[in-house]
Amino acid sequence: GAVVSQHPSRVICKSGTSVKIECRSLDFQATTMFWYRQFPKQSLMLMATSNEGSKATYEQGVEKDKFLINHASLTLSTLTVTSAHPEDSSFYICSARGQGTATNEKLFFGSGTQLSVL
Amino acid sequence: GQQVMQIPQYQHVQEGEDFTTYCNSSTTLSNIQWYKQRPGGHPVFLIQLVKSGEVKKQKRLTFQFGEAKKNSSLHITATQTTDVGTYFCAGPPGDNDYKLSFGAGTTVTVRA
């Protein structure tokens, strides 16, 4: 099946710094990628939809200036957590739709990034 | 907006027993997908159901999509320790919406 690579898998940073997380589709082109946030023992909360070549679409309540998303190519989307604070500590997961334009395409998930802000 | 609910939130099962987890949507779904997340891992796609009343099997796992396309179930027979993890159902809220709304998940633990 399709592979989505996410890096880094774990990052610890100081409060006030910015952290970039990369999400790559390795063997397929992903025009759309999704960024989720997951708190311990909770479900996946969609943060934003990343569209190649255009601005990301953010879900209600998600600060677009806080979570910068760039989808510069068909295989790469990045999420930058700017001026990170301890409350931003969480598990961030990206996913990509399978090829095709059907609305029922399944998602392939990256392995996730555990962000800890001190 | 659409809400996807799953029950139970936790399922503690004796090895070898069967159990069922349920998924209910507040709106009709064009399709429903199930994912499994092992402890410390990321969600992995299990299956997709599209047709009303559809039933699909994967070895000991049986997935069903309701007639009204608003609910689904996952039934596992003869539970094994490899079944440990959280099972999420997810579905797009509308025919033209490709974003998936995830349920809260059912976390399964197995006692040997």
Q: What are the pLDDT digits (tens) for A41-88?
A: 788 999 999 988 888 999 999 999 999 999 888 899 999 999 999 999
Average confidence (pLDDT) per 10 residues, chain B, 112 residues: 88 97 93 92 91 96 96 98 96 71 94 92
Contacts of B103 in chain A (CB under 8 A): 43
Lowest mean pLDDT among A17-31, A65-79, A101-115: A101-115
Residues of A with CB under 8 A from a CB of B: 1, 32, 34, 41-44, 46, 49, 93, 95, 97, 103-112
**Cβ-defined contact of A104 to B104 (cutoff 8 Å):** no
For residue B8, is the peptide bond before it cis, meaning its omega torsion is within 30 degrees of 0?
A: yes
The pLDDT value given to residue A11: 97
B77 touching A (Cβ < 8 Å): no
Average pLDDT score over chain A: 89
The pLDDT value given to residue A106: 77
Residue B100 to residue A42: CA distance in whole angstroms: 16
Q: Note which residues in 35-74 of chain B have CB less than 8 A from chain A.
A: 35, 41-45, 48, 50
The pLDDT value given to residue B2: 67
The pLDDT value given to residue A2: 73
Residue B77 to residue B58: CA distance in whole angstroms: 11
Q: Which residues of A72-109 are buried (b: 16+ CB within 10 A; e: fewer)?
A: eeebbbbbebeebeeebbbbbbbbbbbeeeeebbbbbb
